């Protein structure tokens, strides 16, 4: 597997870590704190990463589950995962200054849901029950959206044969499993229409492709990411399916266990789309201290996507500098 001159090595997947939507959302909260001062309220976790949430809390962000926890007249940021229309209405009713940090790629799926509902379609939404993104998308057209989580559910869901059907998906799913789910649906409902463009986001696809490129050469693949991060959890599954002997997800180096690496010569390393690079570097240092000093970055694509900050925030930032 490896040459004698390099008995222990780390294959570092690229791209990894922050995507454009996460960078935009975190920067939104940081800038809101700078402009308006603490506290800034954030509905749900701005992104699904414990380290990021704790860092923002230390600066004065207060994370809440629902808007009734936000004092009237306060500033609230909506997370990158998106919200249902009723949340926007509630914010207005409570006199809140709302800044929408929903990832533009999630906003695209919301727009598709509204469009196809208006066109008379029943919508099959492929995603995970309870995930904030799924709840937000479902809220756009709750009467016509049916959630399907996997190929097993696709095999049993029922629709009338004469119904206009289209599928949409959560942006952070496993590419392969989504295709498998769609295949089952299309075999049962030949009239099922695909969305005009892929819903699974570029960053999710790129991180999965990067892990696939290294997995077969790895005894162990470490994925840095939080347990509620859908795309991080998927990376663990993708690594094993692509040939890694085993894979573990950790929030940071403090969760690594020596026993995982006892017989390993090659360790793969990546991180989910909401993970700051500092956490990956901590893992690299931990591994180097245990003999895995040779780090080779394996790049499958270079990401250049950048999203503008929310317009309401940009307006206030511009006013402050004038």
8 Å CB contact between 285 and 3? no
- The rounded distance, in Å, linking the Cα atoms of 275 and 71 is 30
Structure tokens at 141: 């057209």
Which of the residues 90, 112, 132, 133 is marked catalytic? 133
Q: Does an H or E element contain 13, and which? A: strand 9-14
Burial profile 28-38: b = 16 or more Cβ within 10 angstroms, e = fewer: bbbbbbeebee
Tell me 274's DSSP state. Answer: T
How remote is the C-alpha of 269 from its chain's centroid?
Answer: 18
**Is residue 282 classed exposed, middle or buried when 0-12, 13-18 and 19+ CB atoms within 10 A define those classes?**
middle
Structure tokens at 87: 């949340």
Q: CA angle 106-107-113, nearest 5°?
A: 95
Which among 203, 175, 211, 172 is positioned nearest to 299, based on CA atoms?
A: 211
Which among 308, 317, 242, 235 is positioned nearest to 274, based on CA atoms?
A: 235
Helix 104-118 × helix 20-36 angle, to 10°: 110
Which among 91, 77, 86 is positioned nearest to 42, based on CA atoms?
A: 77
- Whether 133 sits among the annotated catalytic residues: the reply is yes
Residue 124 bridge partners (DSSP):
146, 167
- The rounded distance, in Å, linking the Cα atoms of 118 and 110 is 12
- Catalytic site residues? 133
């Amino acid at each position: 597997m490896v040459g004698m001159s390099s008995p222990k090595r780390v294959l570092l997947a690229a791209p990894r870590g922050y995507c454009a939507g996460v960078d935009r959302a975190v920067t939104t909260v940081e800038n809101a704190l700078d402009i308006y001062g603490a506290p800034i309220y954030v509905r749900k976790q701005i992104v699904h990463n414990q380290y990021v949430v704790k860092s923002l809390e230390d600066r004065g962000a207060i994370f809440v589950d629902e808007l009734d926890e936000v004092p009237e007249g306060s500033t609230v940021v909506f997370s990158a995962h998106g919200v249902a229309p009723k949340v926007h209405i509630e914010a207005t009713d409570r006199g809140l200054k709302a800044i929408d940090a929903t990832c533009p790629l999630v906003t695209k799926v919301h727009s598709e849901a509204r469009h196809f509902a208006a066109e008379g379609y029943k919508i099959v939404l492929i995603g995970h029950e309870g995930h904030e993104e799924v709840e937000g998308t479902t809220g756009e057209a709750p009467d016509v959206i049916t959630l399907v989580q996997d190929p097993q559910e696709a095999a049993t869901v029922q629709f009338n044969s004469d119904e206009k059907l289209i599928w949409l998906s959560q942006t952070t799913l496993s590419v392969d499993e989504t295709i498998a789910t769609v295949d089952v649906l299309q075999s049962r409902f030949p009239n099922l229409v695909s969305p005009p463009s892929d819903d699974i986001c570029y960053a999710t696809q790129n991180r999965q492709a990067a892990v696939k490129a290294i997995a077969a050469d790895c005894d162990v693949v470490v994925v840095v990411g939080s347990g509620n991060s859908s795309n991080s959890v998927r990376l663990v599954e993708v690594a094993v399916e692509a040939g890694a002997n085993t894979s573990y997800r950790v929030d940071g180096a403090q969760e690594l266990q020596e026993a995982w690496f006892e017989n390993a010569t090659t360790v793969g390393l990546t991180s989910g789309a909401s993970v700051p690079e500092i956490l990956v570097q901590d893992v690299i240092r931990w591994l180097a201290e245990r003999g895995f000093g040779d780090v080779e970055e394996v790049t499958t694509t270079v990401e250049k996507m950048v999203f503008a900050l929310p317009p309401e925030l940009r307006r206030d930032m511009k006013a402050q500098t004038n």
